[in-house]
């Protein structure tokens, strides 16, 4: 017995197993991958013999599977061949050129505001309790410096200084978090 007689099927089997297990863009159970392959082959042969597209029930009976499992496997087969977002879509009009990215998702205009709010919250958490209280009362509760001074039991001048110091710290902290 020659080495090639043993090695060739073993190597081919390992290569097939590798692509079967790792070749799909999304992890699909091996059983459904096998049903997908069998259903695809059965669809081709049934289309030729019936001279029409076979029904899911016909495909399922040809491969010895349930109709539901066959449908699921065929649907999951589309994840095997991902489409580029830059691929041109077929259009009725030749003048119109569009790509999949034109139709998938959209730019979220609030994302920058959300990012800024998150960075600001992190920066506020780094202020001293008194500085944070001044900023929260002044800008979130829209209290005057006099009202803040009364509430914190400090002078209005001290509120002004704390506010200036806290705003300077916030500017630096937000820059650091960039």
pLDDT tens digits, one per residue of 101-113: 776 666 667 777 8
User: What's the whole-model pTM score?
Assistant: 0.40
- The rounded distance, in Å, linking the Cα atoms of 30 and 46 is 24
- The rounded distance, in Å, linking the Cα atoms of 151 and 18 is 69
Compute the CA torsion angle 140, 157, 119, 115 (nearest 10 deg): 50
Which CATH number is 111-176 given? 1.10.10.10
- pLDDT > 90 in the chain, percent: 44
Residue 38 has what pLDDT? 94
For the stretch 21-61, pLDDT in tens is 666 556 777 888 889 989 999 999 999 999 999 999 999 99
Residue 81 has what pLDDT? 64
For the stretch 113-142, pLDDT in tens is 887 888 888 889 999 999 999 999 999 999
Residue 137 has what pLDDT? 96
Q: Whose structure tokens read 């780094």? A: 126
Domain residue spans of the chain: 3-83, 111-176
Q: Do domains 3-83 and 111-176 have the same CATH topology?
A: yes
Helix or strand holding residue 148 (H, E): helix 145-152
pLDDT bracket for residue 145 (50, 70, 90): very high
CATH class given for the domain over 3-83: mainly alpha
- The rounded distance, in Å, linking the Cα atoms of 159 and 145 is 6
């Amino acid at each position: 017995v020659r080495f090639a007689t043993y090695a060739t099927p073993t190597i081919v089997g390992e290569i097939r197993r590798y692509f079967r297990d790792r070749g799909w863009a999304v992890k699909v159970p091996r059983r459904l991958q096998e049903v997908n392959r069998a259903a695809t082959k059965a669809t081709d042969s049934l289309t030729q013999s019936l001279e029409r597209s076979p029904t899911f029930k016909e495909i399922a009976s040809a491969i010895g599977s349930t109709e539901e499992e066959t449908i699921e496997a065929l649907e999951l087969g589309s994840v095997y061949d991902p489409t580029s977002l830059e691929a041109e879509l077929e259009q009725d009009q030749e003048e119109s050129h569009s790509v999949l990215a034109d139709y998938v998702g959209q730019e979220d205009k609030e994302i920058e505001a959300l990012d800024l709010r998150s960075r600001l919250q992190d920066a506020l958490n780094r202020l001293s309790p008194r500085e944070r209280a001044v900023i929260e009362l002044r800008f979130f509760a829209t209290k005057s410096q006099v009202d803040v001074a009364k509430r914190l039991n400090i002078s209005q001048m001290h509120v002004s200084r704390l506010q200036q110091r806290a705003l300077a710290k916030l500017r630096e902290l937000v820059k650091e978090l960039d």
